[in-house]
Amino acid sequence: MYSSPPLQYIRINGADLAYREAGDVSDQLFITLHGGRGFGSHESDFSAYLPLSTTHHIVSFDFRGHGQSSHTPPYTFSQLVDDIESLRQQLVAKHNKKEAKAVICGGSFGGYLAQQYAITYPGGLSHLILRGTAPSYEHETEAMEVLEQRLSRAPLASLNFLKKVFSSFVDDDEMRLVMFAIGPLYSEAEYDADKGLERARSMRLSAKVHNDLYSEQEKYFDYRPKLKDIKAKTLIVVGDKDWICPPSQSKLIHQSIPGSELLIVPNANHSVHQEKNEEVIAAIRKFLS
């Protein structure tokens, strides 16, 4: 039976970041960036991208204030991006890697950070992989429009719940209840309410971290003017049923990053890397080769 590699901790910019790794440590780094402002963690990405450990050193970690990492402020986009760069530098030095540049793979909120990383630290990456993400905060308007059409799939949710996802929560309890209610919207597979309840119950989340990352200073991110400057080879993957970052957003990124590749996966939602794992992994292998 497969057992997950042990959880480790690394000190980065004053925070203790939880991470797992797989593959030969002498191979090129492949760093995954999870989604979810205030409620995401590394586990699902690590599991999804683990097959790539035959050719790359896979490292998946929890951002500060997320998952099992320390709750060490500040919780800002720029701080998280600085953490990614410091993590890359430390791991390259620790393992004396011949290839210092990393593959940066970010989904959803992690895709926002991946774009900002590519813009801020262009020398740190060789390849950029973006999954189900958007180039600016303006995707939220389209997401709400799509949700109005699909809300019947989540009978416990309301549009007001969804507005909270794009703004702030009163406390952790409210956040947990909202995440449980909107759970059916994240996948095209048949929803298992019992598993959804367990996911919500065991989810490590923080309304404080979420709210900080949706503050007036952080909320209005917009990478569109600078995407044309990204030189790294870029692959963009999105499910054609993605509701929170609709395919139009990935098309916009594709049109803006010179030479980028776009894969729209049929019958897949926001978690396309899990729902259509074999197809996504095959596309990434081809892209990296």
Residue 43 and residue 123 in one domain = yes
Residue 22 and residue 113 in one domain = yes
Full domain range(s) for residue 178:
141-212
State pLDDT tens for residues 12-31. Answer: 999 999 999 999 999 999 99
Residue 18 and residue 75 in one domain = yes
Residue 145 and residue 123 in one domain = no
Q: Look at residues 191, 212, 233 and tell me which one is the last residue of a structural domain.
A: 212
Q: How far apart are CA 21 and CA 42, in angstroms?
A: 11
Torsion of CA 250, 251, 252, 256, to 10 degrees: 100
State pLDDT tens for residues 123-157. Answer: 999 999 999 999 999 999 999 998 888 888 899 99
Report residue 215 CA to chain centroid gap.
19
Residue 119 and residue 168 in one domain = no
**183: which 2 tokens?**
């759970």
Task: Note if the pTM is more than 0.85.
Answer: yes
**140: which 2 tokens?**
């939220």
Give percent of the chain above pLDDT 70.
99
pLDDT for the residue numbered 2:
53
Under a CB-based contact definition with an 8 Å cutoff, are residues 245 and 238 in contact?
yes
Q: What does the buried/exposed string (b/e) look like for 137-168 if buried means 16 or more CB atoms within 10 Å of the residue's CB?
A: eebbebbbebbeeebeebeebeeebbebbbeb
Residue 54 and residue 145 in one domain = no
State pLDDT tens for residues 166-201. Answer: 999 999 999 999 999 999 988 788 889 999 999 999
State pLDDT tens for residues 235-253. Answer: 999 999 999 999 999 999 9
Residue of 113, 57, 109, 58 lying closest to 85 (CA atoms): 113
The residue among 189 and 42 whose pLDDT is bigger is 42
Residue 259 and residue 120 in one domain = yes
Under a CB-based contact definition with an 8 Å cutoff, are residues 236 and 250 in contact?
yes
Count of structural domains, the chain: 2
Residue 192 has φ and ψ, to the nearest 5°, of: -100, 105
pLDDT for the residue numbered 1:
40
State pLDDT tens for residues 83-113. Answer: 999 999 999 999 999 999 999 999 999 999 9
Under a CB-based contact definition with an 8 Å cutoff, are residues 134 and 111 in contact?
yes
Q: Look at residues 171, 188, 212 and tell me which one is the last residue of a structural domain.
A: 212
Q: Give the number of other CB atoms < 10 A from CB of residue 259.
A: 10
In a domain, 208, yes or no: yes
Residue 86 and residue 108 in one domain = yes
Q: How far apart are CA 157 and CA 281, in angstroms?
A: 33
Q: Report helix, strand or coil for 222.
A: strand
Residue 127 and residue 243 in one domain = yes
In a domain, 3, yes or no: no
